Amino acid sequence: MQSDELNTIIVNIVATESASRTVIPPSSGTGEGQEMTGFMKLLIYGGILLLFGIIFFIFMMISSPIWVVVGTILLINIIGFLWVCGMAAALAFGLPWMYKYLRGTYPLGSDWVDNARNQITGTAGQMRDYASIAREEFAK
């Protein structure tokens, strides 16, 4: 008798497990109910975001004197850090280039430096000549 009861219990357990594993497909229609549900979700989420936005705005207005000071200090520190990094990079790449240039090995871009130097000295010579001519005419 016990085995019949045990078999009945096992059959009931298997039946409930298979029934609980049954997947019910969602409805494939796009009815008014689903559109209304999406609209309600939009309204609820929009309202929550608006509420948090208002609370955040009020908090920022109340604590703005603190944030202005903190933001200014932070901005100055970031600018200083970036300036130091830029100067370090300029030194790291510029010093070896200058060393090669001064030793006469003419690294990449040295022709531009030579052209600029020649233009500067040429312009300086032209201005010197112009000044001497102007001085002579003014003395007459």
Q: How far apart are CA 139 and CA 93, in angstroms?
A: 52
Tokens found for residue 83: 């300036």
Contact 91, 98 (CB under 8 A): no
Q: What is the share, in percent, of the chain residues with pLDDT greater than 70?
A: 79
How buried is residue 100: exposed, middle or buried, by Cβ count under 10 Å (0-12/13-18/19+)? middle
Say if pTM beats, i.e. exceeds, 0.75: no
Predicted confidence (pLDDT) per residue in 83-130, tens digit: 999 999 999 999 998 999 889 888 888 889 889 989 999 898 889 888
